[in-house]
Structure 1
Amino acid sequence: MRAVLAVTGAALFTCGAAALVLGLGGFDGLPGVPGGLAARPALDPALARFAGGSDWFLPAAAAVTELLSLAGQIWLVVQARALVQRWRPDLDPRTRDLARTAAADLARDAAALPGVSEPRVRLTGSLTRPRLLVTVTCDGGAVLGEVYGELGAGPVERYRRAVGMPDLPAVVRLRPEFPRPRRRGPRMETA
């Protein structure tokens, strides 16, 4: 879906930029392009005659563009709401306090597992579709399957019980961290 939106946005941006350059007369001196494009009317004369002779054409075109604009604005509101829900879910204050306390316990329990550092816990989603997001940084030598199993069997299950959502979906992201090799500089030999 993102690729379709990116391609559509790029195409619309290109068309808008080309229309702006055309209106400013940027294409007038190019070889193979008829002169005076900026001075020509925006609509073809045949289309202008048709629009002038039909009482329904311009109101119908305006209605279609208004509907497209409204659909775009609704889509933007939905996307903004999803972004806000990702950072602050729609929960009542009691559940939010329980989730905050349970998140601190989950982070502490996850940090106690061997090879685990920097656990981050966040409750996201909407009131009807909440989800738990756990991001854990593991040492390079940690067995990721064991870390995942320990998290799911212990701390995540205790979090679900503490919040009162036994069917809460949990997304566990494991990020292995490998030690960076030391860079050796050039050796200086002294005589």
Structure 2
Amino acid sequence: MRIAIAVTGAALLLCGGAALAAGLGAFDALLALSGRPLLDPALLRFASDSGWFLPVAAGVAEIVALAGQLWLVFQCRALIHRWWPDLDAQTRALARAAADDLTRDARGLPGVQDARVRLTGTATRPRLRMRVAFAGDALVSEVYGELGAGPVERYRQAIGMPDLPVVVRFRAASKRRQAATESGGGKRRR
């Protein structure tokens, strides 16, 4: 979906830039576009003969603009709920304490280098997002099974949401981080 939106936005940006360049006379060497009227004379005659054309065109443009603004509001709302869940203060405090325990327990699993936890979503549809970095020799299926059987289940019980959906994303730890962890001198950034 993001690729389609990016391609559409790039195409519209190019069309707008080309129209601006044509209006400023950048293409006059090829065609004399800057001296011509913006709308074709046939379209102007049709619009002046039909009293309904311009109000309908303006109404359609307003509906499209409103739909675009509503879409943008929903996208911003989803982004905000990703970073700041719409939960009460007590649940957020429980979630913070349980997240520390979950992160500590996940880092204690064999092969896990790092773990990050975030409670996201709305009050009616919360979810837990977890990112786990593992060593190259770790078995992801075993780490996943251990997470689900122990630490994640304890997190759900601690915050009182036994049916909380959990999204776990695995990635291999970088060589630099693995070397720093093995030597014991690595510092974690937060």
TM-score by length of 2: 0.88
Q: Deviations over 1:121-172 (max 9, x none)?
A: 1011122211111111111121211111111100000001111111111111
Q: CA RMSD in A?
A: 1.5
Q: 2:53 aligns with which of 38, 52, 57?
A: 57
Indicate whether 1:152 and 2:148 are aligned: yes
SS in 2 for 1:119: strand
The separation in 2 between residues aligned to 1:24 and 1:179, in whole angstroms, is 54
Query: Percent sequence identity over matched residues?
Result: 64
Task: Give matches, 1:134-153, under 5 Å.
Answer: 134-153=130-149
**Stretches of 4+ aligned residues off by more than 3 angstroms:** none
Q: Contact 2:127/2:164 (CA < 8 Å) preserved in 1?
A: yes
The separation in 1 between residues aligned to 2:82 and 2:166, in whole angstroms, is 14
The separation in 2 between residues aligned to 1:49 and 1:173, in whole angstroms, is 60
Corresponding residue of 2:129: 133
Indicate whether 1:116 and 2:112 are aligned: yes
User: By how many angstroms is 1:178 displaced?
Assistant: 5.5
SS in 1 for 2:170: strand
Q: Deviations over 1:40-83 (max 9, x none)?
A: 11111111011112211111111111111111111111111111
The separation in 1 between residues aligned to 2:115 and 2:2, in whole angstroms, is 29
* Greater shift in the superposed pair: 83-92 or 114-123: 114-123
Q: Structure 1: where are the runs of 5+ without partners?
A: 183-191
Corresponding residue of 2:187: none
Q: 1:173 aligns with which of 164, 169, 173?
A: 169
Aligned residues: 177
TM-score by length of 1: 0.88
The separation in 2 between residues aligned to 1:38 and 1:141, in whole angstroms, is 66
Indicate whether 1:28 and 2:10 are aligned: no
User: Larger Cα Rg: Structure 1 or Structure 2?
Assistant: 1
Q: Contact 1:140/1:179 (CA < 8 Å) preserved in 2?
A: no
Q: Structure 2: where are the runs of 5+ without partners?
A: 180-190
The separation in 2 between residues aligned to 1:127 and 1:153, in whole angstroms, is 25
Indicate whether 1:103 and 2:66 are aligned: no
